[in-house]
Amino acid sequence: MGLKGVLVAFEGIDGSGLTTHSKLLVERLRREGFKAGYTKEPTWGPVGRLIRELLLEQSVDHEVMALLYAADRLWHLRVRSCLGMGVLEALGEGFVVVVDRYKYSSMAYQSLGTDVGWIGEVNRGAPEADIIVYIDIPVSLALERIAARRLTFYYETYERLTRIKENFKKILENAEERGVKVVRIRGTDEEGKPRAVEEVHEEIYRQAIDRIKSLKA
């Protein structure tokens, strides 16, 4: 199936503002006349719900989690997303699909306990994103935001998030080598204070829109 759409993946450690900014980008694209839609991983499908339950445990098996995420991702791609159809179908219909986490998160998170190359292999059915938007924030700020929630998940500790952030650096460099456009966005200013949501959104839009337009041309 020829994919006429554009796949934009938002990535970053927990608390980075991925949901906020992926939704803002979709809203902006729709106002400008693009056929755009938001979706999220893990999904609320049968495997995604199991993942969410397991993330509440005190420990996880990283290989099991990697396989579950890969299965949930295929379900997301082939069966159903938040757009009411699989992501691949939406791309085939020309949507700009903005996904709140994708396979790059699996590589960064589950490689805490298993080989990143193997994670990539079990995700071979998931196409590369056209654009990765990576929002970079300090782990200390991530933990402040996480603390404001009622639930804390397995990966949300200082040590784990620090390692995950380090993993993302190499994963994004490798993606760029494969031809993926990576948009790196600082979520804080030079003093380490959170940047305004509007300011971050404008930077994301400016850096992504030309690539989106060129792929839709």
Tens digit of each residue's pLDDT (9 = 90 or more) over 79-99: 999 999 999 999 999 999 999
For range 14-33, the mean pLDDT: 97
Q: Is a pLDDT exceeding 80 seen at residue 217?
A: no
Of residues 121, 101, 105, the one with CA closest to residue 168:
105
CATH of domain 6-216: 3.40.50.300
The residues facing 40 across adjacent strands are: 100
DSSP 8-state symbol, 2: -
Domain boundaries, the chain: 6-216
3-state secondary structure labels for all residues of 37-77: EEEECCCCCHHHHHHHHHCCCCCCCHHHHHHHHHHHHHHHH
Within 10 A of 161 (CB to CB), how many other CB atoms are there?
Answer: 22
pLDDT digits (tens, 9 = 90+) for 30-44: 999 999 999 999 999
Whole-number pLDDT of residue 78: 98
Query: What does the pLDDT read at residue 151?
Result: 80
d(CA 188, CA 17): 11
pLDDT of residue 169: 97
Phi, psi of 9 (to 5 degrees): -110, 125
Instruction: Say what percent of the chain tops pLDDT 90.
Output: 94
Per-residue confidence (pLDDT) for residue 3, from 0 to 100: 64
Structure confidence at residue 48 as a pLDDT band (50, 70, 90): very high
Phi, psi torsion values for 19, nearest 5 degrees: -65, -45
Poorest-pLDDT segment among 105-119, 148-162, 189-203: 148-162
* pLDDT band at 1; cut points 50, 70, 90: very low
Average pLDDT, the chain: 96
* Selection from 156, 148, 168, 191 nearest residue 102 by Cα: 168
Distance, in Å, from the CA atom of 97 to the CA atom of 137, rounded to the nearest integer, reads 24
Dihedral Cα 69, 57, 159, 40, nearest 10 deg: 30
Check: pTM over 0.85? Answer yes or no.
Answer: yes
CA distance 26 to 51: 26
